[in-house]
Chain A
Amino acid sequence: MLYRTVGQFKTSYQADQALFPVRQDAFLLGIILLCAFVIFPLTASEFTFQTLLIPILIYSLAAMGLNILTGYAGQLSLGTAAFMGVGAYACYKMVTIMPWMNPILAVLLSGFFSAGIGVAFGIPSLRIKGFYLAIATLAAQFFLVWLFEKWAWLYNYNASGAIQVPNLDVFGLYVSGPLASSMTQYYVVLIIVSLLTWVCINLTRGNLGRTWKATRDMDIAAELIGINLMRSKLTAFAISSYIVGVAGALFVFQWRGAAEPNLFDIPLSFQVLFIAIIGGLGSILGNYLGAILIVGLPVVLNIVPEALGIPLSSATVEHLNIMIVGSLIVFFLIIEPHGLNALWRLIREKLIIWPFPH
């Protein structure tokens, strides 16, 4: 009913391959964008900005970066958090060495540093794959976190060993640091994330994306049909690390405000990997759904008992929360092993043929 495709004729290949072959999809996206750009900022409280909207967007972006590498190009990586760290530290060094620099530009540039590091650690992927590659990226994870701890120049010889985001402004408006308002921070994140999502959608649908998918599905076959595996894998590492690096810079500059080296340790890598897997490997939408489940849901569950007036101690709520989120992850993976994105596709498919299922 809602998704009736009757009357939407495609008369050219171009129309058939368009981003939104079904008109309702474009309409739905419009509603989401309207919410994200207008309705949420108008209605959200500071709490919502800081614990739901901003982190979900940033985690989605990080998962999207990982998804390019793992979901599209098939190269398993466990070093996401370290690459996020490279982005964050690069951004920190840039804004402290060059305080006149536009912070948004610094965030976008910091991705190039992590892209460089990502390519360097991606070189082993030319010879090893699967779990062996995962171990190589794990080495990046350990090495980089160690570097963040030991290389005092990175955190400007600060006694505490942590980086603190200074107050940064663009034409007099504070965009990051303690003086920035949550709404400004949200818009900066939203615009960068939307932009990179748009780039990712088009990249994965284009020539490069098909090369990646061919590499993922069977690299020998891909090589036989003339795909340069080295180029395919290294571009995947570069672009993925760029996005992850930008996500890392946003993570610290637009959200956390301060970071100690162990923030970029394995738990964060796994969290991002979980988002990508639960959302659905090889999808863009899945990253957002995964981030909502993994990052957003615990926050919402935490405030439910209080909102309902159920007197539970905060520690009990936290225990319940861990149990509920854990079982939901298992539940979703059982009903749809390919992730939330596949689940949504299934629902959409059913809606289109409704009320006449075969």
Chain B
Amino acid sequence: MKHFTKWAAAAAMALAGTAVAAEGIYAPNLSYRTGPFAATGIPLMNGQADYINMLNARDGGIGGVMIDFDECETGYSTQKGVECYEKTKGKAVVTQPWSTGITLQVLPKTNVDQIPILAPGYGFSPMSDGKTFSWAFNAPAGYWDAASMIVQYLEGMGDLNGKKIAFLHLDHPYGKEPIPVFEALAAAKGFEFLPIPVGLKEMQNQSAQWLQIRRERPDNVVMWGWGAMNAGAITEAVKTKYPMENFIGVWWSGHNADLAIVGEKGKGYKSISWSFPNMDAPVMADIQKYIVAEGKTKSNETEMQGVFYGRGIVISAILAEGIRVAQAEYGVGEISAEQLRWGLENLNFTAERIDELGLTGMMLPFSTSCSNHTGHSGGWMLEWDGEKFVKVSDHLKADVASYAALAGEKAAEYAAANAPWPMNDGC
């Protein structure tokens, strides 16, 4: 009996403990630490979790309110993603869907459920139109920005007129997304644009695609790959001796582990990115002190030096700043989803603010507004030096004006297809 009471008391304590921890702002993440894309997901998820946990440990949360950063595992499956969305939406202030498929599913529902979607650097590019997509945010940059920046970088290397650029992409909504912008740029700059799709089933065996690349001899290959496709393309490029310095990937194609496989031979491979793992940034020291030293991280040292872990930190920093802005505006600690929407819409990451947050050199300044939900921070061109990624360009800025009309058109098309679609006419 004595034992029983002891156990019961312990159990009650444990339950009470979890109940206390669950209070605060509930910010779930639809993570994918399992499934075919786990290798790329884990560093991102770890970076996100470690940053928020660091804030909880260092500052006692944000504005004195703890952040309950929970993960709901999707394995990158759309079905599980929707399950997680339904499970978390009751008390969540934000949805971080993490896959184009899940984003597409939850995008129309957010107007009804009134929960902001935070999809940093992925999702539908026209989401930048805050007037149409009042609940969706893809700050700090969208895929169309990436396309524009890559072309700009190549132009900086020499005139593009008469050149041939192959576009190796996943044959999936994600891979097809930048095609209209590339096509418009090709017409304007006079280069030949050659899309080469890679089917979902051929991700690991791209010999046919690389045979075509060898035959066509493009001056550059631009890649929009994800998961196993990146490693497949990079090893294939090494095998066919494609000059690596002419090979550029989008930000999801710049994963350290994919290049570590080829090491020195991958030297010169580039990837555009809006984040950079600056190990000297103060925030890294804080994570080291409050999280790693306490043994609270799931990450390891190699992973923490990678681009994706650093990106996870930046993503969480965007969310945290959104929460902070909302708290300041409404004067409450435990903000609601509606209030966070306002916060994400009024982000202002100036260079000073970035330094203040300890994120020096890890991200670029940008600001969002009611009508601009992307912020278009621009990015850096990163290059693989055989061991790690280094910055090889200054701050590149996308020529947003050149596709603003297209974004408006696509957003309007989306709204029309989903009528009745509420517009935020106040913008």
A314–B105 CA distance with the chains assembled, in angstroms: 21
- Say yes or no: B86 contacts A50, CB within 8 Å: yes
In the complex, which residues 295-325 of chain A have their Cβ closer than 8 Å to any Cβ of chain B?
A: 299, 302-303, 309, 311, 313-315, 317-319, 322
Give the interface centre of B109, B180, B417 by most chain A CB atoms within 10 Å: B417
Query: B420 contacts which of A160, A167, A265 (Cβ < 8 Å)?
Result: A167
Which residue of A has the minimal Cβ distance to B29?
Answer: A314
Looking at the complex, which of B67-75, B148-156, B248-256 is the stretch in contact with chain A? Answer: B67-75
Which residue of B has the minimal Cβ distance to A313?
Answer: B71
Contact A166-B417, Cβ < 8 Å, known A257-B108, A309-B18:
yes
In the complex, which residues 155-198 of chain B have their Cβ closer than 8 Å to any Cβ of chain A?
A: 171-173, 176-177, 180
Which residue of A has the minimal Cβ distance to B71?
Answer: A314
Which residue of A has the minimal Cβ distance to B409?
Answer: A159
SS class of chain B's interface: helix, strand, loop or mixed?
helix
- Does A209 touch B at the CB level, under 8 Å? no
Q: Which residues of B contact A158 (CB under 8 A)?
A: 417
- Say yes or no: A257 contacts B73, CB within 8 Å: no
Q: Which residues of B contact A154 (CB under 8 A)?
A: none
B6-42 CB mask vs A (1 if < 8 Å, else 0) is 0000000011001000000000000101100000000
A97-114 CB mask vs B (1 if < 8 Å, else 0) is 000000000000000000
- Say yes or no: A162 contacts B75, CB within 8 Å: no
Distance from B22 Cβ to chain A, minimum over Cβ atoms (Å): 10
Q: Which residues of B contact A317 (CB under 8 A)?
A: 73
Q: Which residues of B contact A161 (CB under 8 A)?
A: 172-173, 176
A37–B415 CA distance with the chains assembled, in angstroms: 35
Which residue of A has the minimal Cβ distance to B34?
Answer: A318
Distance from B228 Cβ to chain A, minimum over Cβ atoms (Å): 14
B59-86 CB mask vs A (1 if < 8 Å, else 0) is 0000000000011110100110011001
Query: A149 contacts which of B31, B73, B171 (Cβ < 8 Å)?
Result: B171
Contact A160-B104, Cβ < 8 Å, known A260-B172, A314-B71:
yes
- Say yes or no: B172 contacts A262, CB within 8 Å: yes
Residues of A in contact with B, size category: 35 or more
Q: Which residues of B contact A50 (CB under 8 A)?
A: 82-83, 86
Give the interface centre of A51, A96, A265 by most chain B CB atoms within 10 Å: A51
- Say yes or no: B34 contacts A160, CB within 8 Å: no
Distance from B179 Cβ to chain A, minimum over Cβ atoms (Å): 8
Distance from A358 Cβ to chain B, minimum over Cβ atoms (Å): 46
Q: Which residues of A contact B104 (CB under 8 A)?
A: 160, 162, 164, 258, 260
A179–B108 CA distance with the chains assembled, in angstroms: 9
Q: Which residues of A contact B14 (CB under 8 A)?
A: 309
Contact A257-B109, Cβ < 8 Å, known A159-B410, A315-B31:
yes
- Say yes or no: B34 contacts A319, CB within 8 Å: yes
A314–B100 CA distance with the chains assembled, in angstroms: 21
A47–B89 CA distance with the chains assembled, in angstroms: 9
Q: For the complex, count residues of B whose C-beta is within 8 A of A.
A: 39
- Does A147 touch B at the CB level, under 8 Å? no
Q: Which residues of A contact B410 (CB under 8 A)?
A: 159
A255-269 CB mask vs B (1 if < 8 Å, else 0) is 011101011010000
- Say yes or no: A311 contacts B18, CB within 8 Å: yes
A161–B172 CA distance with the chains assembled, in angstroms: 7
Q: Which residues of B contact A167 (CB under 8 A)?
A: 418-420
Q: Which residues of A contact B365 (CB under 8 A)?
A: none
Query: B108 contacts which of A46, A159, A178 (Cβ < 8 Å)?
Result: A178
Distance from A174 Cβ to chain B, minimum over Cβ atoms (Å): 10
A150–B108 CA distance with the chains assembled, in angstroms: 25
- Say yes or no: B176 contacts A315, CB within 8 Å: no
A125-164 CB mask vs B (1 if < 8 Å, else 0) is 0000000000000000000000001000000101111101
- Does B401 touch A at the CB level, under 8 Å? no
A46–B410 CA distance with the chains assembled, in angstroms: 31
Besides A160-B177, A314-B73, 19 new A-B residue pairs in contact (Cβ under 8 A), listed by A number: A50-B82, A51-B83, A158-B417, A160-B176, A167-B420, A179-B112, A256-B79, A256-B105, A257-B105, A257-B109, A262-B200, A314-B31, A314-B33, A314-B70, A315-B31, A315-B71, A317-B73, A318-B73, A319-B34
The 3 closest A-B pairs by CB, nearest first: A178-B108, A315-B33, A160-B173
Could you tell me which B residues sit within 8 Å of A by CB distance? Answer: 14-15, 18, 31, 33-34, 70-73, 75, 78-79, 82-83, 86-87, 100-101, 104-105, 108-109, 111-112, 124, 171-173, 176-177, 180, 200, 410, 414, 417-420
Q: List 17 A-B contacts (CB under 8 A).
A: A51-B83, A159-B410, A162-B173, A164-B104, A164-B108, A166-B417, A166-B419, A178-B111, A256-B82, A257-B108, A258-B105, A260-B172, A263-B101, A265-B200, A311-B18, A314-B31, A314-B73
